Amino acid sequence: MAESGTDIDRAKSELEAGKLVAIPTETVYGLAGNAFDPQAIASVFKVKNRPSFDPLIVHTCSLERVRSLALGIPEMAVALAERFWPGPITLLLEKRAVIPDLVTSGMNTVALRIPKQPLTLQLLERLDFPLVAPSANPFGYISPTTATHVNDQLGSSIDYILDGGPCDIGVESTIVGFENNEPVIYRLGGTSREQIEQVMGKVKVMPHSSSNPKAPGMLKSHYAPRVRIVLGDISTMLSQVEDKGKTGVISFRSSFEDVPQGHQRMLAPDGRLDTAAKNLFSALREMDTKPIDLILAELVPDHGLGLAINDRLKRAAAV
């Protein structure tokens, strides 16, 4: 198991030595390495068992530093940065040569963001390099939202976990790029489409890719538990299940009498989408520990953060 704590200097020294550190963000925990060090970047791919065609997000601490990593930042990108950074939005921009091709899977664009998490922001301010930091979990599995989640999955493969407590948002950042001078959402996430459209006007949302994605987090099947998950109307699906004792349920805010209470998880008893987002990955992870053969789940209201929650649920259920 990896050591964990709040020692920013320890995290800094490990990263400067080319090692990997798990870091907290407001979205999920990231597996961080020096974004200028090809060997550290390769270690991130190896530890996650992540395919090299899936690019990484680069984290830094200021718009000034972003300008040193990206070329010709569009005015629309600056407007989004000034409105939402630090925060759960990632901008896909033309990269400078200082960013290794391994980070971007050979593409000429790099995904950049400034996280809104005090410990990690302090760490980034003290480092002379940015960090690649995809979610700190085996590739394709449920993203971690606590230090314990990271330790349970990758504790034997990393050197230190910077523990910032539970993540505030619980789903990954929204990724926005720019095509023909128009904003495009490549991945739905912690900044809602509605919030972005308040700044940009109407925004196109890209479908997922099954191979060679243009931005991180676009693969169709992702965030999946080991137990099969099926989406639909839970009551209808339960009526067709013979052994309800071996069935798990993830609902928005409903309870079901025929299923053991210990096999049920309500994402938002208060009916709030931000509560549902914060609980989503922990609910999936908890269900994976139960003696069940099947998880039945339902989509949440499809607006605001609900768009990102439903995106993750659909990909968790993809086969």
Give the pLDDT confidence of 95-150 residue by residue, as tens digits.
Answer: 999 999 999 989 999 999 999 999 999 999 999 999 999 999 998 899 999 999 99
Residues 168, 170, 171, 173: what is their CA dihedral angle, to the nearest 10 degrees? 30
What pLDDT, on the 0 to 100 scale, is given for residue 211?
A: 46
For the stretch 190-217, pLDDT in tens is: 999 999 999 999 999 987 655 456 777 6
Quick one: pLDDT at residue 225? 81
pLDDT of residue 8: 98
Beta-carbon neighbour count of residue 156 at 10 Å? Answer: 9
Residue 54's pLDDT is: 85
CA-wise closest residue to 114 among 48, 64, 54, 171:
64
Q: Which SS3 state, helix, strand or coil, does residue 179 take?
A: strand
**Cα separation values, 117 from 30, 54, 61, 128, Å:** 12, 25, 10, 19
- Determine the 3-state secondary structure of 187 from DSSP: strand
Name the residue type at position 9: D
Tell me how far CA of residue 258 lies from CA of 103, 179, 242, 264, in angstroms: 48, 50, 11, 10
**pLDDT in the model for residue 154:** 96
Domains observed in the chain: 3-205 (3.90.870.10), 228-316 (3.40.50.11030)
Closest CA to 172 of 125, 227, 113: 113
- How far is it, in rounded angstroms, from Cα 224 to Cα 304? 22
Which residues are 127's β-sheet partners?
A: none
Q: Which residues contact residue 237 at a Cβ distance below 8 angstroms, ignoring those fewer than 6 apart? A: 230, 296
pLDDT tens for each residue of the chain, 319 residues long: 899 999 999 999 999 999 999 999 999 999 999 999 999 999 999 999 988 788 999 999 999 999 999 998 999 999 999 999 999 999 999 999 999 999 998 999 999 999 999 999 999 999 999 999 999 999 889 999 999 999 999 999 998 999 999 999 999 999 999 998 899 999 999 999 999 999 999 999 987 655 456 777 666 656 678 899 999 999 999 999 999 999 999 999 999 999 999 999 999 999 999 999 999 999 999 999 999 999 999 999 999 999 999 999 998 897 4
- Asked if the bond preceding 86 is cis, omega within 30° of 0, the reply is yes
The confidence score (pLDDT) of residue 217 equals 67
Predicted local distance difference test score (pLDDT) of residue 319 = 47
Please, are residues 307 and 315 in contact by the beta-carbon 8 Å criterion? Answer: no
Instruction: Say how far apart CA 230 and CA 291 lie, in whole Å.
Output: 17
Q: DSSP assignment of 113-144, as one string?
A: E----HHHHHHHHH-SS-EE--BSSSTTSPPP
**pLDDT value of residue 208:** 66
